[in-house]
Amino acid sequence: MKTVRIIVTGRVQGVGFRYFTVRCANDLGLCGWVRNLPDGSVETAIQGQGEKIEEMIGLLRQGPGSANVSGLEIEEIESKSEELSGFAMRF
């Protein structure tokens, strides 16, 4: 089990990016959350098997059709004993 924190930059707010993230994560069986940040980027925490997370990172690089992703900042984080369940949108 692996947990990563990802900051997605570019034109990623107001284009359905969070909904896209939730849908893809659910399709891949990943847990975590996604939220918009005040600077216009999107932050997500994803927990699951390494190969599924890599697949998710590829999807985030593309984003939904109306988005324009300019970069991803990926950081593996200690999940300690916190296991996430489901995938939620945070506000």
Determine which one of 11, 18, 23, 90 is catalytic. 18
Where are the chain's structural domains?
2-79
- Fold of the domain built from segment(s) 2-79: Alpha-Beta Plaits (3.30.70)
pTM for the whole structure: 0.94
Look at residue 80 and tell me whether its pLDDT is greater than 90.
no
Q: What confidence score (pLDDT) does residue 82 get?
A: 64
The end-to-end CA distance of the chain, in Å, is 26
- Cβ neighbors of 7 (< 8 A, separation 6 or more) are 37, 41, 42, 43, 72, 73
**18 noted as active-site residue:** yes
Higher-pLDDT residue of 80 and 33 is 33
In the set 11, 36, 68, 90, the catalytic residue is 36
The answer to whether residue 36 is catalytic is yes
Question: How far is the C-alpha of 32 from the C-alpha of 86, rounded, in Å?
Answer: 6
